[in-house]
Amino acid sequence: MDSHGQGEQRVVWGVVDSDIGPLLLAATREGLVNVVFHATDAVRDRAVERLASRLGTEPVEAPGSPLLTEAIHQVVAYFAGERRDFDLPLDWSLISGFNREVLRELASGVPYGTVVGYGDLAGRVGQPGAAQAVGMAMGANPLPVVVPCHRVVESGGGIGGFGGGLETKRRLLALEGVLPEPLF
């Protein structure tokens, strides 16, 4: 129980440097709730405002918070090539319905160093004709990198889209050994 009452939501956030640029990580008592790419000042400010609006409380910058410590440690280890899987509690409150179902399947069923097609992932959740809806779910993913939407590609061999930008997706796939490292 905190000084404001038992049921109050607490959201903390911090920015972590990574090989793909600064990442904003936000967590609640339930777990990691949001990862935001390219967390420059303007992007960070918009993300914090969005979290406040969606979660009903003002997020607090607290990168040393116990709510964030393990998430930051695991993200840093992932980019250092020392971690392949994330073992973190996740707060799924920013996503629901079909999108949540697809993202949970992605998180549990598509391991490091592998990829899955949009249509294949749709089939795994019992909606074989919903490849486009899976693409929308990937775009709505509030936990990229940790819930690895970068591992979802086009069935014909194309890389597909990516909310963090195609270069970011290529770099994540290269980190996992799916694509060769860029020459330049």
Which position among 26, 106, 107, 149 bears the catalytic label?
149
Residue pair 20/168 in contact by the 8 Å Cβ criterion = yes
Does the pTM surpass 0.85? The reply is yes
| Burial class, 118, CB count within 10 angstroms (exposed 0-12 / middle 13-18 / buried 19+) | buried
Known catalytic membership, residue 149? yes
- The pLDDT score that the predictor gives to residue 178 is 92
What number of CA atoms fall less than 13 Å from residue 179's CA on the CB side?
20
- The pLDDT score that the predictor gives to residue 184 is 47
- The pLDDT score that the predictor gives to residue 6 is 43
| pLDDT tens figures, 4-36 | 444 557 999 999 999 999 999 999 999 999 999
- The pLDDT score that the predictor gives to residue 157 is 80
Query: What is d(CA 73, CA 10) in angstroms, rounded to the nearest whole number?
Result: 20
Computed over every residue of the chain, the mean pLDDT equals 92
Residues sharing a CB contact under 8 Å with residue 59, sequence separation 6 or more, in sequence order: 11, 12, 13, 26, 48, 51, 52
- The pLDDT score that the predictor gives to residue 183 is 53
Question: Which residue segments constitute the domains of the chain, with CATH numbers given?
Answer: 12-80 (3.30.160), 97-176 (1.10.10.10)
- The pLDDT score that the predictor gives to residue 61 is 97
Q: How confident is the model at residue 182 (pLDDT cuts 50, 70, 90)?
A: low
Mean pLDDT of 146-166: 91
With a cut of 80, say whether residue 65 has pLDDT above it.
Answer: yes
* Segments in 56-96 forming alpha helices (H): 66-79
> In the block, which residue shows the tokens 């592998």?
114
- The pLDDT score that the predictor gives to residue 156 is 82
